[in-house]
Structure 1
Amino acid sequence: MEEKRHNKRFPVKLELEISSLFKQDNVKVDNIHAPIEVTNISRNGIGFRSGSILPLNYYFNAKIQLGNSDSSLYTVVKIIRQQLIEENLYFYGCELVGMPSVLDYIFDEFEER
């Protein structure tokens, strides 16, 4: 299969929790409390696993820390893909939305490791 990503994904192990989801038309879902395990990241997106069923085209706020505490990204994440990988476990593909290019240095430092 041909790789279509603009930026290389790197393996990473992060644990996050989604507490609420929202859409651009002011639809909001609160009290989600879905634990997720981020498995890979790139400048444009993340991939994660979760036992929760999450709706596509919804957004959530995330704080992603790559390395030291100075390397924290505060970003909006859009869920764009879902795949069942085993019973009660899903893999999600997401894009990072509206992340300013001034934060590219965080990925530069992460890629050098």
Structure 2
Amino acid sequence: MEEKRMSKRVPVHMHLSIESLYKSGEAEKISISEDIAVTNISKRGIGFLSSRALPVDHYFNTKIQIDEEKMFYCVLRIVRCKKINQGYQIGCEFVGLANILGENIDLYIEEIGEEQE
């Protein structure tokens, strides 16, 4: 199978919450109070599991905590929502991520790669 991803993804154990989704400036109050487990991260986006379907092409604000010292706030756009046995697999891309934050993610990916060797 041909790899179509533009950036390497690595497994990650972090959690996030979504308070509201929006598209074209109009907020849709979709509150997800469950603990959302992020399954992977790359310089371009994240993947996570959700118990409910989320609409593609909607955005949300969140905080990404890479480790105890590195965290940042960002906007994510939902690009994929796939039904799986336990719920839904969601794929998101970072919107307007600053270069320095992308470099922090690259460093994290390098660290994970070294630990797996």
TM-score, normalisation: structure 2: 0.86
What's 1:21 paired with?
21
Partner secondary structure for residue 55 of structure 1: coil
Partner secondary structure for residue 4 of structure 1: coil
Matching of residues 1-113 of structure 1 within 5 Å: 1-23=1-23, 25-35=24-34, 36-69=36-69, 71-86=70-85, 89-113=87-111
For residue 30 of structure 1, report the CA deviation from its aligned partner: 1.7
Give CA deviations for 1:31-76 in whole Å, capped at 9, x if unaligned.
512532110000001000000221110000011011123x112110
Matched to 1:110, the amino acid is: Y
Matched to 1:79, the amino acid is: I
Distance 1:11 1:34 in 2: 23
- Unaligned ranges ≥5, structure 2: 112-117
- Unaligned ranges ≥5, structure 1: none
Matched to 2:59, the amino acid is: Y
What's 2:114 paired with?
none
Matched to 1:57, the amino acid is: D
Q: Is the 8 A contact 1:59 1:79 kept in 2?
A: yes
Distance 2:84 2:64 in 1: 24
Distance 1:90 1:4 in 2: 21
Q: Tell me which moved more, 102-111 or 1-10.
A: 102-111
Q: 1:80 to 1:34 in 2, by over 3 A?
A: farther
TM-score, normalisation: structure 1: 0.88
Distance 1:104 1:94 in 2: 15
Partner secondary structure for residue 90 of structure 2: strand
Q: Is the 8 A contact 2:77 2:95 kept in 1?
A: yes
